[in-house]
Structure 1
Amino acid sequence: MSFRFEGYVIVSADGMLADATRVMPDSLKFEGDKRFFEQALDRAALIVHGRHSHEGQPNSPSRKRLVLTHKVKALAADPEMPNATLWNPDHARFEDACAFAGVASGTVAIIGGPVVFDMFMERYETFWLSEAPQVRLPGGEGCFLGVPERSPHEILTAHGMKPGAPYVLDAAHDVTVTPWRRPG
């Protein structure tokens, strides 16, 4: 198996990916970021997320995905999404989940939430951190374990990643995406 791991998240100025109810509010949704995200996922061989995350895009049903859950013993086909595999990482290795899903190579897009991002922190080749500096979500859900005590930048740096040049996704709202990569 040969995989390239990439992470994707958009965060508020305070590092949150969702509000206090664990829902991504409309205030954190921007057309430029949505286009960037959708194009990236269309290129991915596999999407990985927790049960509270989902991209909700027109192509979503056709994408192969692993949904992390403790509601199955190890691995199971998702009865609600034909291209989804339910994966309990406590009882099945990632490689076994990929084999069950029928994916042996390509880009794996990790799209959250915080526990899922953390599981792959040492595997990312690139983590695409989109930031919406005009949005604040007090009491929200941090994008990584350890946010808000530490910023997303501090956490990525602590895992050996360095920021590249940011790209503007929405100039009117100062929304950017920065590729964080491992040196070498």
Structure 2
Amino acid sequence: MPGLRIDGYVIVSADGMLADADRIMPDELKFEGDKRFFTAALDRADLIVHGRHSYEDQPNSPLRKRIILTRRVGAIAPDPSNPKAVLWNPAGASFESACDFAGVRSGTAAIIGGPDVFGMFMDRYGTFWLSQAPQVRLPGGEPCFPGVPQLSPQGILAAHGLRAGEAQILDIADGVSVTPWRRVA
């Protein structure tokens, strides 16, 4: 959509995982600095986009408009459990149609996962905010993007035309940082 900016957000372990083998984000991957960064970004976003198993679980979560990807609907439907949410099956309708249904035609859409959802938008991100926890490893965990661990998350972002900007430290003690990966013109 011409008036909608698409940004991605994820925190990953040193081995590129966003969750453990049970597809749950473990406490070892949760850091206050990253939580503050992520919360502020979502508070600024006009729309949150994620899969059925992803959710930010924050105090403002119920207030946010969102699109939830699912195969449980044919195309687009209101979420019966959340008046601010739209259920979207990408096989049945375009992202633009889902945004129209949600009433969001401009501003920022924050893509927050999971891996297949991130993969769908790889060629559309304006910025992808990659937070990294270099002291955490999640062997057998869930990769952040399709193609990890064969390639690093950074390698996948670069292969899709994004270039790393300057990293910002979010948690000094644990070395957690966030790097903006921006679309190369």
- For the aligned pair, the TM-score class normalised by the smaller chain equals over 0.9
Partner of 2:181: 180
Partner of 2:81: 80
What amino acid maps onto 2:170 in structure 1? Answer: L
Tell me, yes or no, if the aligned pair for 1:67 and 1:85 is still in contact at 8 Å: yes
Distance in 2 separating the partners of 1:182 and 1:77: 32
Partner of 2:46: 45
* Alpha-carbon offset, residue 73 of structure 1: 1.0
What amino acid maps onto 2:169 in structure 1? Answer: V
* Alpha-carbon offset, residue 80 of structure 1: 1.4
Distance in 2 separating the partners of 1:95 and 1:109: 14
| Residue aligned with 1:107, SS | strand
The C-alpha deviation readout for 1:70-112, integer Å capped at 9, x for no partner, is: 0011111111122010000100111110111111110010000
| Residue aligned with 2:36, SS | helix
Q: How many residues align?
A: 184
Tell me, yes or no, if the aligned pair for 1:17 and 1:142 is still in contact at 8 Å: yes
What amino acid maps onto 1:99 in structure 2? Answer: D
| Residue aligned with 1:145, SS | coil
The C-alpha deviation readout for 1:144-163, integer Å capped at 9, x for no partner, is: 00111110011011111110
* Alpha-carbon offset, residue 183 of structure 1: 2.0
Tell me, yes or no, if the aligned pair for 1:61 and 1:82 is still in contact at 8 Å: no
| Residue aligned with 2:34, SS | helix
Partner of 2:141: 140
What amino acid maps onto 1:149 in structure 2? Answer: Q
Q: Which runs of 5+ in 2 are unaligned?
A: none
Partner of 1:118: 119
Tell me, yes or no, if the aligned pair for 1:143 and 1:152 is still in contact at 8 Å: yes
Distance in 2 separating the partners of 1:95 and 1:183: 23
What amino acid maps onto 1:34 in structure 2? Answer: K
Distance in 2 separating the partners of 1:180 and 1:10: 13
Partner of 2:160: 159
What amino acid maps onto 2:156 in structure 1? Answer: I
Runs of 4 or more above 2 Å deviation: none
Distance in 2 separating the partners of 1:61 and 1:144: 26
| Residue aligned with 1:40, SS | helix
Q: TM-score, normalised by structure 2?
A: 0.98
Tell me, yes or no, if the aligned pair for 1:46 and 1:65 is still in contact at 8 Å: yes
Partner of 1:36: 37
Distance in 2 separating the partners of 1:156 and 1:98: 24
What amino acid maps onto 2:172 in structure 1? Answer: A
* Alpha-carbon offset, residue 130 of structure 1: 0.0
